[in-house]
Structure 1
Amino acid sequence: MINPNILLILAGLAFQESPSNPQRHTFASQQMGATCKVVLFGSEAPACKQAAQAAFDRIAELNNIMSDYDAQSELRKLCAQAGEGPVKVSKDLLTVLVRSQEIFQLSDGGFDPTISPVIKLWRRARKSIQLPDAEELRGALALVGFQKVEIDKGKGTVRLALKGMQIDLGGIAKGYAADEALKVLQAKGFASALVVLGGDIAVGAPPPKEKGWKIGIAPVLEEGDASDRYLVLSHCAVSTSGDTEQYVEIAGKRYSHLVDPKTGIGLTRRVAATVVARRGIDADALTKVACILPPEISLKKIALVPGASCRITYLAEKGLELIESPGFPPLQGKKAGK
């Protein structure tokens, strides 16, 4: 889970309910292992509730397809056939795997969902407070590499070339789900809508009489660091990633839950990133690129995605450093204490 201090939702806090229509309606549900919020503006409460439920249902449907925890998910069934012939997959799974492949190539392997076997070793390491066994890690790394995933878009099939390969879509699926949930709301006539799924947000048209949704962003790497600065966004998506909460300290060294696909080692440098993009599927995956690759290289890679920009905060020898894309939306408000 992303520390709520890194990306706070201010959307709608400035709006006061009034007799005039449409009014702001907020709904919440647990989806994909995270809190999901839907905020929309409408004049009829029952219709708003029905639309929000339809959005939640769409996310649940996608979780059934892409979960790496559910043994009955379509993704897990695909992985169970690794090393065998091509497998016909659903349109949703194909869409996410194709985009995963594209971002894998764009990032020179900085984003790689086939890292799942390594991630599982680190999940165990966080529980045992012991580094992964070196031999096990080498074996897991031998299965990593999205170039080993064979996708035939025309036939709608996917093949994992090596037996034992596994895919973890945790770095991209929530962004796609936020996109899809927003589409559901828009299809039901709710243009002014926002979907929050963990650290991933998709926004539609601005709230009534506003320029955009207010999305609070605090570039924190330490507990207690805060900010009241925010972005004003519409018709786009924003995602954040960092290690404020998910990490483990072993022998006095801090290891992030974010793992470098090339080394198989959890990041030891402190970094947090926020990406704004046209689609959640891109923003979600690109935050991982921003954290895994060196900051300057990350910005160059992210600039290759039309409409995407990034803000990276990292801890250097001289202290906290900040780097951002030239096109990153301007921050509003002011830093805390200033």
Structure 2
Amino acid sequence: MRFHHPIRRSTDTGLGFAAQAALLIVSLLALSGCTERTDPMIELSGPTMGTYYSVKIARPPEGLSAETLEPELIQVLDAVIAEISTYDPTSELSRLNANPSTDWIPVSQNLLTVIAEGQRIAELTNGAYDVTIGPLVNLWGFGPERRPDRLPSEAEIQAARERVGYQKLELRDSPPAVRKARGDLYIDLSSLGEGYGADRIVDWLESRGVTDCMVAIAGAIRAKGLNAKGQPWGIAIEQPLPDRRAVHRVIPVSGHALSTSGDYRNFFEKDGKRYSHEIDPMTGAPVDRQLGSVTVIGDVGMIVDGLATALMVLGEERGPALAEVQGIAAYFIVREGEDFRGIASPALQTYLDMAAQASSAALTNTER
């Protein structure tokens, strides 16, 4: 497998230990309870977007194999990178960011779709989430530019904030185009990219006749159908620990997308303080709260990916409040000293109750 320019910087170099460990956790839990697997399974994994991907196909259609699927899978991933990567200077998004025009700039329908979802979440959160946050992401060293040896000054933060604001970006559906109020507006779609990539892979697999699969790009996951034992795919929610990996709980997923955003993997430390890649557009600085991670479940990977980031920025009080009002199925893990407290939104609890009932019914049918 080859390495790609990442969409989001990882604290690892290439497919490092953390990514491999995460891949192992997903691999094991996707097959939870499957010690005697009876149905055939195709498994593909490797580096992409500065992180990793994992694809598992249960009961693949006749004629499909890892060898035949892998080249096509790489093409799908390369197409996503060519659309929305800020690390690839030739990508469509990089060309858009480099264009100083304040007139309408034509874009592809795919790129417009991703940006439009970002704008929708920005409006939903009153700007706590913002796809124009690129200048701040780069200033703090979480973008393609090399991280500086010092923390940014207040003047630098203010200068970057002046270039940020989702209201500075206008979209047009037909023909697809965007218009920037400032020519130096810089769009960063990292918080949507992994989920978007998982969606594209699932669409491609469906076109090949696949009905049962689990696709993961880092913390963004799409699961369809059942695993090799005819059970929902078991997806782990980790405890937000920066120095090791431990499972907080496992959620059964079938026919849904799941994405987790947290402050415990992509960060740097300076003078004894940790700075997360989750940046608040309102302050221009990384969030500093007790909230360790947010997991969101829904139908579309791109949407839950963006919502997980948005709720993470909102924090342990405003995040659950918005999730309850908007009916978002979200699970929050809050640090309380050395312990963790889980907060399930009403929609998430309903999902868990339904999943438990379905699992119990399946078990009963098996025992008959």
Instruction: Write the distance in 1 (CA, Å) between the matches of 2:118 and 2:284.
Output: 19
| CA contact 2:289–2:315 (8 Å) conserved in 1 | no
Matching residue's letter, 2:31: G
3-state DSSP of counterpart to 2:179: strand
Give the SS at the match of 1:195.
strand
Partners of 2:249 and 2:307 in 1: CA distance = 22
Which amino acid in 2 is paired with 1:104?
A
Q: For the Cα contact (< 8 Å) 1:194–1:201, is it kept in 2? A: yes
Q: Return the match for 1:202 from 191, 209, 222.
A: 222
How many percent of aligned residue pairs carry the same amino acid?
28
Which has more helix, going by share of residues? 2
SS in 2 for 1:311: strand
Native 8 Å contact 1:239 1:275 kept in 2: yes
Give the match for residue 249 of structure 2: 229
Residue 366 (structure 2) aligns with: none
Q: State the partner residue of 1:282.
A: 303
Which position in structure 1 is the counterpart of 2:365? none
CA distance in 2, matches of 1:23, 1:12: 12
2:122 aligns with one of 104, 126, 131: 104
Structure 1 residues 224 and 73: CA distance shift in structure 2, 3 A: closer
CA gap 1:267/1:320 in 2 versus in 1, 3 angstroms: same
Separation in 1, partners of 2:75, 2:85: 15
Q: Structure 1 residues 72 and 190 mapped into 2: Cα distance closer, same or farther (>3 Å)?
A: same
Classify the secondary structure of the residue corresponding to 2:341. strand
Deviates more, 1:237-246 or 1:320-329: 320-329
1:64 is displaced (CA, Å) by 0.6
Q: Distance in 1 between matches of 2:199 and 2:238?
A: 23
**Which residue of the partner structure matches residue 85 of structure 2?**
67
Gap change, CA 1:190 and 1:318, over 3 Å in 2: closer
Do 1:6 and 1:218's aligned partners in 2 also have CA atoms closer than 8 Å? no
Q: Residue 56 of structure 1 is aligned with which of 74, 94, 108?
A: 74
Out of 22, 26, 29, the residue aligned to residue 46 of structure 2 is 29
Q: What secondary structure, in the 3-state scheme, does the structure 1 residue paired with 2:347 have? A: coil
Deviation at 1:83, TM superposition (A): 4.2
CA distance in structure 1 between the aligned counterparts of 2:237 and 2:338, rounded to whole angstroms: 23
1:254 pairs with 2:274: yes
Report what 1:297 is aligned to.
318
Distance of 2:256 and 2:245 partners within structure 1: 27
Task: Give TM-score, length-normalised by structure 2.
Answer: 0.81
Paired AA for residue 192 in structure 2: I
Q: CA deviation at 1:297?
A: 2.1
**Could you tell me how far apart the structure 2 residues matched to 1:161 and 1:108 are?**
19
* Residue matched to 2:195: 175
Where does residue 314 of structure 1 map in the other structure?
A: 334
Task: Find the aligned partners of 1:298 and 1:70 in 2 and give their Cα distance.
Answer: 33
1:115 counterpart = 2:136: no
Residue by residue over 1:189-208, the C-alpha shift from the partner in whole angstroms, topping out at 9 and shown as x without a partner, is 11001111111111111125
Summarize the alignment of residues 106-145 of structure 1 with structure 2, pairs less than 5 Å apart: 106-123=124-141, 127-145=147-165
Q: What is the distance in 1 between the residues matched to 2:155 and 2:121?
A: 29
**1:292 to partner: Cα distance:** 0.6
What count of residue pairs does the alignment treat as equivalent? 329
Classify 1:158/1:253 alpha carbon distance in 2 versus 1 (closer, same or farther; 3 Å).
Answer: same
- 1:153-174 deviation digits (Å, cap 9, x = unpaired): 1221111210211011100011
Report deviation, 1:49.
4.0
What is the Cα-based RMSD across aligned positions, in Å?
A: 2.7
Query: What whole-Å deviation, never above 9, does each CA across 1:265-311 have from its counterpart, x for those lacking one?
Result: 112224211111111011111111121103232123334656x4111
The unaligned stretches of length 5 or more in structure 1 are: 333-338
